[in-house]
Amino acid sequence: MAVASARFFAYSIGRGDVEDTNRWFNVSLCIHLIAPLCLVTVGWFVGEWALEDFLNIPPLRIDTARWVFRLSMLSAFQTMALSPFLGMFIAKQHITEISIWRTVTSLANFCLAYAVLSATGDSWLFYCIGSVTITIALGMTQVFRALRLFKECRINFDMWWDYSKMQKVLSFSGWSLFGAAGGLLRSNGIAILLNKYFNPVSYSYVNASYAVGITLSNYTQTLSASLMGAFVPEMTANEGSGERQKMLNQASQVSKLGTYLTLLFAVPLLLEIDYVLELWLQEPPQLAASMCSLILFTFIIDRLSAGQMVAVAANGRIAGYQMMLGGFLILTLPIAWFFLEHEFDAVSVCWAYIITVTMCSVGRVLWAKKLVGLSPRLWVKDVLIPCSTVLAVGLVVGSVAQMIWAWDSFLRLCVVIATTLFSSLLLGWLVVLKYDERRYFLSGLRALLRRFFVKAS
């Protein structure tokens, strides 16, 4: 929802109208207070019913599960309601501050996880209370920062009911929410399916493996997510100011560089997943390695068309695209159900992920062609082939290193990381980057070095 708000803010900023941006902000704030209240009210009753009558939860843990759910709903409401403030940070391209907030959040959650080890009482409830407290505290701090930094964030109740703008925001946010809800139903629906088909009392390793796979795969997205955060407002502002070709060039760069940055982490992780999980968890769940590997592949496939996703959002005509995206994501559930119903193992749900994410990526490419004229042939040439080359060569080079060091060890992990990084960086320079992009990188590097040596002297 923050991204949906940021789209209208950035579009208005691209036109240079401060008052208009303030109107968009107030309308967005009104909607993002009312809509989450309705969603949370409905979700509260549905969630309470599911905890009692649908999910397989041990009787001794049902009271804790209720409180965890209620606290999570409170956190979700606050996150959704305050998203216009975060959206203004994105639209204004305050990337450094956003990165600092994310780092602080990660450090706070790490400290919380460490505190759980020595906490007395119910660890699950303790962690949930701590996590919600961190989310609310940091969210409110961001609100006060936005009010202080941006005059576009002035709250004016007279602007809340601009029905023309409200209709546009509701349309865009509503369709964006449909696509996001598809992703939410996919990830949580898979967990529910695994819970129903593999009782957590008898098969505790199944849901644990899935959770580990999602968590570890998310860590590989840090750099590419930061890259998208930097490009999204700029692309939207370019579309708003009529610079369509510049926006299309940036879309291609988002897909290419986002995938490439993901591969820098994903390739060595795919090769050494068993040993990495042992280092991290000591005794990883039985299916964690298989699920991690397959979910990593889904993330790579998804990043291949990230630029198309941003380009379509910048254009604003997203109804058909979001219907396709949300529909394909929700389709993961019946495919996974089919696999489990026909007695495939639990890992098969990750193959359902891969099938639908591939469909989403192809769909994005086609919709970007239809809505903004982004060429699929150019995407194959500039994104798919170079990134596939980096992936294939990295896996081959890393496998050779594994054959030389045939036993699991920290030394082999370091060698695999070094060899795959070397091959990826070399191919990134020769194959992924174009001539103009290499020149731009070198000029930026020279400017950075000059500043460094001037300060040093």
pLDDT at 194: 84
**What's the domain range around 140?**
1-161
Q: Which of 394, 422, 425, 399 is nearest to 412 (CA)?
A: 399
Number of residues that this document lists for the chain:
457
pLDDT at 2: 58
pLDDT at 120: 75
Query: Looking at the domain assignment, is residue 271 inside a domain?
Result: no
Query: Looking at the domain assignment, is residue 371 inside a domain?
Result: no
Query: Looking at the domain assignment, is residue 41 inside a domain?
Result: yes
Q: Most distant CA pair in the chain: distance in Å?
A: 70
Tell me which residues of the chain have a pLDDT lower than 50: none
pLDDT at 454: 65
Alpha-carbon separation of residue 217 from 113, 303, 349, 407 (angstroms):
19, 13, 16, 24
Q: What is the pTM of this model?
A: 0.74
pLDDT at 139: 86
pLDDT at 381: 93
Structure tokens at 118: 């020595």
Query: Looking at the domain assignment, is residue 212 inside a domain?
Result: no
Query: Looking at the domain assignment, is residue 184 inside a domain?
Result: no
pLDDT at 357: 92
DSSP code per residue over 158-182: GGTT-HHHHHHHHHHHHHHHHHHHH
Q: By the 8 A CB rule, do 260 and 300 touch?
A: no
pLDDT at 322: 81
Query: Looking at the domain assignment, is residue 35 inside a domain?
Result: yes
Query: Looking at the domain assignment, is residue 219 inside a domain?
Result: no
Query: Looking at the domain assignment, is residue 366 inside a domain?
Result: no
pLDDT for 14-71, tens place per residue?
777 788 888 888 888 888 888 788 878 888 888 878 777 776 677 777 888 888 888 8
3-class secondary structure, 354? helix
pLDDT at 4: 64
Number of domains in the chain: 1
Structure tokens at 314: 């910048």
